[in-house]
Structure 1
Amino acid sequence: MIDLERRKKLALHLRHLSVGLISNDDFEENLMDDVTHGWLPEQYYRSKQAKSDDEIIQPMLELCWGLYDDTRNHKLKGTDKLSNESLKIIARCILFLQSEQEYEWPYFNANNPLLKFSLGEIIITILSIGQYYRDKRKEQEIAFAEFKKLGNFEVWPFSTKINTRNN
């Protein structure tokens, strides 16, 4: 299911965040109003809407959350400015969000596994002097390498590169 209205709102807010027009706190408030049904981007996966949502929304929210430091209010300017490579990826994401294309990649949770650890896993991590966490990170790195092989990752979130040259 494609939710073009929410995609376009997410694209607009992402563009404003990425070029420093709005702060990260403003961005989160805008998303909560327009995209996530009141959920913070990093918690949206818990919502009932996330289970049957447009497939691109959750990966985009997770990508967005990784762009800024959510422990302080700031704009992505100066020392917080995004790299040219990050801006290139964001531009491609905005283009995808404005399209009517289905998201064809499987879901991949790129967030730090520590964020979703249970109490038991935190205790195991402490008792293993961090080895359990390092093992989980290694598993995630291997899974991500396999994920990237599922398509042309250089054009993610698109699934294939479109040749726009006239023949």
Structure 2
Amino acid sequence: MRHLSIGLITNDEFEDYITDDVTFGWLPEQYYRAKEAKLDDAIIRPMLELSWCLYSDLKEHKLKDQYKLDEKQLKDIARFILFLHSDNEYEWSYIDPTNPFIRFSFKDIILSVITFGQHYKDKRNEREKEFAEMQKMGDFDYWPFISKERYEEQLKSQPFLSEKKANA
């Protein structure tokens, strides 16, 4: 994720690494279908879905120039990477961040047509309500850490650019 976010590798190279090393051959946006997704570390699926939203998969590119991430995105990614290098357990409930329509079955599509879109609106409202409830579980500004305190604690023992590493 670090290499992708600062433009060292392309989106296609990132997906190759992910499918080889993390998702048992599944692309990030399809990992939810893998049987391993139900047994894997709880942070993997949200991280994959989040990383998939960083780039377009329509053509190969690096996150540079017109695709460059903004400062807030880079700061958020640094926090995500810090979490991944910690021993913290992921404590948030899972909420699917994708538009409900993307995961619709044929039945859902038919129901949406028959109800003039009300079925889709209901699903979207349900998702928004779940997200609002999930945000109440902790300090969402520090996600994937559950609290500011856990985040700050990890910053004190962070694995990057620390004196311990530099003197080793």
Pairwise TM-score range, normalised by the shorter structure:
0.7 to 0.9
Q: 1:60 maps to which residue?
A: 47
Classify 1:126/1:70 alpha carbon distance in 2 versus 1 (closer, same or farther; 3 Å).
Answer: farther
Q: 2: distance between equivalents of 1:68 and 1:126?
A: 31
Q: Which of 103, 110, 114 pairs up with 1:127?
A: 114
Deviation at 1:127, TM superposition (A): 3.5
After superposing the two structures, state which structure 1 stretch, 71-80 or 152-161, moved more: 71-80
Q: After superposition, what is the alpha-carbon deviation per residue over 1:83-129, rounded to whole angstroms, capped at 9, x for unaligned?
A: 21111111100000011111111111111111110001112223344
Q: Which of 119, 134, 144 pairs up with 1:147?
A: 134
Gaps of 5+ in 1: 1-13
Q: 1:71 maps to which residue?
A: 58
Q: 1:89 maps to which residue?
A: 76
Query: Is structure 2 residue 167 aligned with structure 1 residue 161?
Result: no
Deviation at 1:142, TM superposition (A): 2.1
Deviation at 1:79, TM superposition (A): 1.6
Q: 2: distance between equivalents of 1:59 and 1:109?
A: 8
Q: 2:103 maps to which residue?
A: 116
Query: If the length of structure 2 is used for normalisation, what is the TM-score?
Result: 0.84
Deviation at 1:15, TM superposition (A): 0.3
Q: 1:43 maps to which residue?
A: 30
Greater RCO (Cα-Cα under 8 Å, separation 6 or more) = 1
In structure 2, what residue type is equivalent to 1:100?
A: D
Q: Percent identity between the aligned chains?
A: 56
In structure 2, what residue type is equivalent to 1:115?
A: I
In structure 2, what residue type is equivalent to 1:139?
A: E
Q: 1: distance between equivalents of 2:116 and 2:74?
A: 37
Q: 1: distance between equivalents of 2:60 and 2:34?
A: 25
- C-alpha RMSD of the superposition: 1.8
Q: After superposition, what is the alpha-carbon deviation per residue over 1:14-45, rounded to whole angstroms, capped at 9, x for unaligned?
A: 00111111111111001011111111111111
Query: If the length of structure 1 is used for normalisation, what is the TM-score?
Result: 0.84
Deviation at 1:144, TM superposition (A): 1.0
Q: 1: distance between equivalents of 2:140 and 2:13?
A: 30
In structure 2, what residue type is equivalent to 1:159?
A: I
Q: 1: distance between equivalents of 2:9 and 2:79?
A: 20
